[in-house]
Chain A
Amino acid sequence: DIQMTQSPSSLSASVGDRVTITCRASQNIDKYLNWYQQSPGKAPKLLIYAASRLQSGVPSRFTGSGSGTAFTLTISSLLPEDLATYYCQQSYRTPLTFGGGTKVEIK
């Protein structure tokens, strides 16, 4: 199985801060990487697909980048509604696998 490792596991930032979350794959997955946001008590929601493509309706402050084994999700200016846990997921090969999540808290 392809292992997905996220860092940090949690972070606390202020409104307006730039936030960066890292996801690493255990092998080359090209750009087969998706990002999801899970707000408290809710189901995950797609933010970014194919490493850098913004899902329709998702605010432009979210950007994804990377390829191969290293990927990042950046929130350019954190808002209170961005309080959530963020997950990466590889779609290169089955079984499809997820990272352990990064919990973003607001200071």
Chain B
Amino acid sequence: QVQLLESGPGLVKPSETLSLTCTVSRDSITSGDFYWSWIRQSAGKGLEWIGRINPSGSTDYNPSLKSRVTISIDTSRNQFSLELYFVTAADTAVYYCARDVFAILGLVHNWFDPWGQGALVTVSS
């Protein structure tokens, strides 16, 4: 059963860059028809999808964050990463990484499974 684990600083100063890494274990990040997503959860905005990447490096971003986000992948380390630039207090949230599963059920459907345990990131000086 694949597992995901987020890591990175829990405190970031305003205007700086939030950096998180998701390590995938018990399976290869290149196996199957998967993308790899970042999702955050804050009290104010609920669950918000940030973006995703596939093993070839193709990305999709939420337009609301696109100008401040980069998602990258390191297949040799079985990891993918999130960078969010110029953070403010509004970026304080629990950040989750998740596997974005694609399957053909007549048409192509996708869903998030599994999720990492989440990493709380607080933006404060």
A interface residues (Cβ-Cβ under 8 A, vs B):
30-32, 34, 36, 42-46, 49-50, 53, 55, 87, 89, 91, 94-98, 100-101
Given contacts A44-B47, A101-B46, contact A89 B63 (CB under 8 A): no
Chain A CB within 8 A of B14 CB: no
By a CB distance below 8 angstroms, the chain B residues around A94 are 49, 60, 62
How far does the alpha carbon of A53 sit from the alpha carbon of B117 in the complex, in Å?
24
Of A30, A94, A95, chain B has the most CB atoms within 10 Å of the CB of A95
Beyond the given A43-B115, A50-B105, could you list 8 further A-B residue pairs with CB under 8 A, ordered by the A residue number? A43-B116, A44-B96, A46-B111, A46-B112, A89-B112, A94-B49, A98-B47, A101-B47
Contact of B46 among A30, A49, A100 (CB under 8 A): A100
By a CB distance below 8 angstroms, the chain B residues around A100 are 46
- Smallest CB-CB separation from B49: which chain A residue? A96
How far does the alpha carbon of A32 sit from the alpha carbon of B48 in the complex, in Å?
17
By a CB distance below 8 angstroms, the chain B residues around A95 are 49, 62-64
Given contacts A43-B117, A87-B47, A95-B63, contact A36 B105 (CB under 8 A): no
By a CB distance below 8 angstroms, the chain A residues around B112 are 34, 36, 44, 46, 89
**Are B105 and A53 in contact (CB-based, < 8 A)?**
yes
How far does the alpha carbon of A90 sit from the alpha carbon of B70 in the complex, in Å?
23
- Smallest CB-CB separation from A44: which chain B residue? B115
Encoded as 1 (CB less than 8 Å from any A CB) or 0, chain B from 86 to 124 comes to 000000000010000000010101111111111000000
Contact of B49 among A30, A53, A98, A101 (CB under 8 A): A98
**Are A43 and B109 in contact (CB-based, < 8 A)?**
no
Interface pairs (18), CB distance under 8 Å: A36-B112, A42-B117, A43-B96, A43-B114, A44-B115, A45-B115, A46-B113, A49-B109, A87-B46, A89-B112, A91-B110, A91-B111, A94-B62, A95-B62, A95-B63, A96-B37, A98-B48, A98-B49
